[in-house]
Amino acid sequence: MASVAATLVESEESGSLILAAAGQWLVTTAGELDRRLGALHMPRGANVTLDLAGIDRLDTAGAWLLLRTEHDLTAQGNTVEFRNLRSNLAPLFDQVRAGGMVVPARHPRPPHHTITGFLERIGRISLGLVARAFSLLGFFGVICITAGRVLLHPTRLRVTPLVAQMEQTGVNAVPIVGLL
């Protein structure tokens, strides 16, 4: 006997809404089932019965979808009852129910993709550039003051240590700079 794809049929019986699940409620059909369950008209304040007699195969994804449907219906003030749950499927429902109704996390949106995040990023970059310009201007000021002092007092310029420093930072640095 060929298995039927997963289905969910709505019907009404003595003032109660019956949702009859049938087929294979597996992870491979979960996407389509989720779309169908999202398209269901959810009543308010009614008695709803989830009839599971027609389910051929069920895995955790299918059980989670059914329990989420039960949770959504209960949240809207409905009384929900499972009917014809086979004894071999009950432990799976208990296990999924024990795991809770965890809502999947939303895809994180980088903060700079919002207008406030974008403005904050521009402001942070601008302040960084101003701080760097201020630092460079301060360094240039120190150089100017030092050069002015040397011009006013040329005897303070020590030529031998200046040449030694130039040799150490220039000529002796060629091998390591070449290696890099």
For the chain, the C-alpha Rg in angstroms (whole number) is: 37
pLDDT at 105: 65
94 pLDDT above the threshold of 50: yes
46 pLDDT above the threshold of 60: yes
Which residue would you say has higher pLDDT here, 14 or 138? 138
The CB density around residue 93, as the number of other CB atoms within 10 Å, is: 19
- Which two three-digit tokens encode residue 19? 């949702």
List where CATH 3.30.750.24 sits in the chain.
7-99
The CB density around residue 46, as the number of other CB atoms within 10 Å, is: 16
Q: State the architecture of 7-99 in CATH terms.
A: 2-Layer Sandwich (3.30)
State mean pLDDT over 14-23. 85
Summary mean pLDDT of the chain: 86
pLDDT at 104: 62
| % helix, strand, coil for the chain, step of 5 | 55, 20, 25
pLDDT at 124: 95
pLDDT at 62: 87
pTM score, whole prediction: 0.53
Dihedral of the alpha carbons of 23, 27, 32, 34, in degrees to the nearest 10: 100
**H-only helix segments in the chain:** 30-39, 60-75, 90-99, 115-152, 159-166, 174-179
Q: What percent of the chain has pLDDT over 70?
A: 93
Instruction: Write the pLDDT tens digit of every residue in 99-111.
Output: 766 666 676 777 7
Query: Could you tell me which of 50, 74, 73 has the C-alpha nearest to residue 63?
Result: 50
